[in-house]
Structure 1
Amino acid sequence: MRTSVILFSVLFMLSATSCATYVESRPAKVTVIKKAPKHYKIVKIKGKRYYFWNGNHYRKTRKGYIFVRV
């Protein structure tokens, strides 16, 4: 009887705690640039295409270009 009580309390404590951390579900505010300037360059990094101008890398999406950190 005593072992079942101890086992039950250990299982309860393990199920009450979680290893998961909180994940933000809100999307980040992203500024979309509709048109790239004429002097942009296409750069491939690890097989992915990025657009480079003004010292920043951008990724093309359906709505325009968004800033990314590479």
Structure 2
Amino acid sequence: MANNSAEQAQQVLETQQPQQPANLPAPAPQQPHQQPANVWTPEHRLQLLVEQIIKNSSEIIAQL
């Protein structure tokens, strides 16, 4: 069930975000103490969304 929610979240983000060409170089990894210039990159938004889904799923499962 959580996997399905993650897939739906991925689809929503993909429809909201313009697709980047595949030939762009990957961004350099950020140091933990540094903030990227744009915190709301699609990758970061997806990561936050997945973390929220996992947290919500864990809370729902704990209530069962």
Which TM bucket (shorter chain)?
A: under 0.3
Greater C-alpha Rg: 1
More strand by share: 1
More helix by share: 2
Q: Report the TM-score when normalising by structure 1.
A: 0.26
Return the structure number with greater relative CO, CA threshold 8 A, min gap 6. 2
